Structure 1
Amino acid sequence: MNDLITIGSTQFTAKTLDGKPVLTFRDIDAIHHRPEGSARRNFNTNRQRFIEGEDFFKITPSEFRTAIGDMDARQQNDVTLFTESGYLMIVKSFTDDWAWEVQRKLVKTYFRAKELAAEKPKPMSTNDLFELQLKINREYESKLNALAERADDADRKISTITDVFAAAPTDEEHWRDVMNRKVRAMCEEYGLNYHTTIGEMYAELERRAHVNLSVRQKNLRERMRLGGAKYAQREAVSKLVVISQDAKLRYIYEAIVREKAAQLAASRMR
């Protein structure tokens, strides 16, 4: 793959490694209109959560020239290449409108272009549809468990180093962790933008529960300020934190996540 890909006003050279579309640090910074070094900083900050060979690859300049194409002859260091999962982890903190639009376009037109261009499947019999639904359910459950195990493994490694200083997690923290894993697994399975998806589910929660999460979030931060919490601690309060502190909201949000997963599974049958 050596075509030029255009995202907004930015063009970059498409790259593949072992048949998988990949991006460099420079590609990510340019596409997202971020200062050079932004993607590398995010990677270095969360390095322990990336899996080499799955989220990213490191290859030598010689391997890069052989597998992908020309590069600066002065380049001596290994080149880091990110797969779709690695890219989405890198840009996790990019939350402006342009970043969301870029993520959607890259997933559809770059990382999954071949899948979307595949032929439309032939009509299936009722038995075929039933078997396909069972297969989808099994695969979804398997991927969800795998992601949960992967996250648990990363958390165990981190806690080995920091458990002397860290407080034990609360039930609310555990619930938020579980819900985040479920939603991220669902987004990865169906190629959804994580931030867009949780935004839609938060809006549905507000409609059903007749609450305003933004107001509750603001009020909680203010109570923390009056209690002496630092700015960084107050800013870390997300809407999911607000939900986790209310048993009724937790119950409704869990139902919304389950319904979303069922709708997506059913959409594959159409």
Structure 2
Amino acid sequence: MLLTIAHDTRYHYGKPAWLVVQALRLWPAPSESQKVKYWRVEVNGKPLRPTGVDGFGNPVATHAIDRQVSDLHLAVHAQVLTHDRSGVHGDDAGGLPPMFFLKPTPLTQPSAGIIALADAAAGEGEALERLHRLANAVRDKVDYVSDTSDACTSAGEAFEAGTGVCQDHAQVLIAAARHLGYPARYVSGYLCPMEAGFPAASHAWAELFVDGLGWVGFDPANRVSPDEHYVRVACGRDYRDAAPVRGMRRGGAEETLKVDVNITQSVQTTQ
């Protein structure tokens, strides 16, 4: 499937900032499930290219504005040919060993409730069967309710609240899978609507390591494994490692943020 992405992020400061520094993870790493035909990132209309690769294999760049600024516009324009691999990302050539992704982080520390859910839901059977049951159990427990969590919400907090968004579903699943001995990592990207009437969105899901298959994606928010509707961008131990934008500023009181994502699709026959 050929997906065309337009992603605009606009910051407005009621009182101007005089320094803004941002680290961006807005470029996709290579993946067998997608072929990037075109990808452009702009900061206030000027193109920005990756300047390096972080420890997780994500292309990254940092930009700074050291003058008064009231408005900041980040834009992604892209075209990607995607393939349905039933969620199988496979092995990362030269990447971190899977065992690295067994250690909890502050955002993915398993609470007593998460541990109990993992032990009860996974049960016996083959790895894929157990992990699909686990992902569904996470979604059963954590209902999708927008504006009930933020970037600092931990897996345990979302689990206890029983509400959250895709970021929270991913981090609860990661915490539960690691407890069961499965390496797990957080993935950020995009989701093209699977049905008419649903909006396109930035999205997040988890990849769990399964012997014989490598990394396999699970999207508990939608109870599926990623298919051709998904564009994979960055990964890490949790949200903080894979966040599209992280930064700091001086000044810039009364910040408002507006995000628009538009994804159009067309079927393309590969040669």
Q: What range describes the TM-score normalised by the shorter chain of this pair?
A: under 0.3
Which has more radius of gyration?
Answer: 1
Q: Which has the higher strand share?
A: 2
Normalising by structure 2, we get a TM-score of 0.27
Quick one: higher RCO (CA 8 Å, sep 6+), 1 or 2? Answer: 2
**Higher percent of residues as helix:** 1
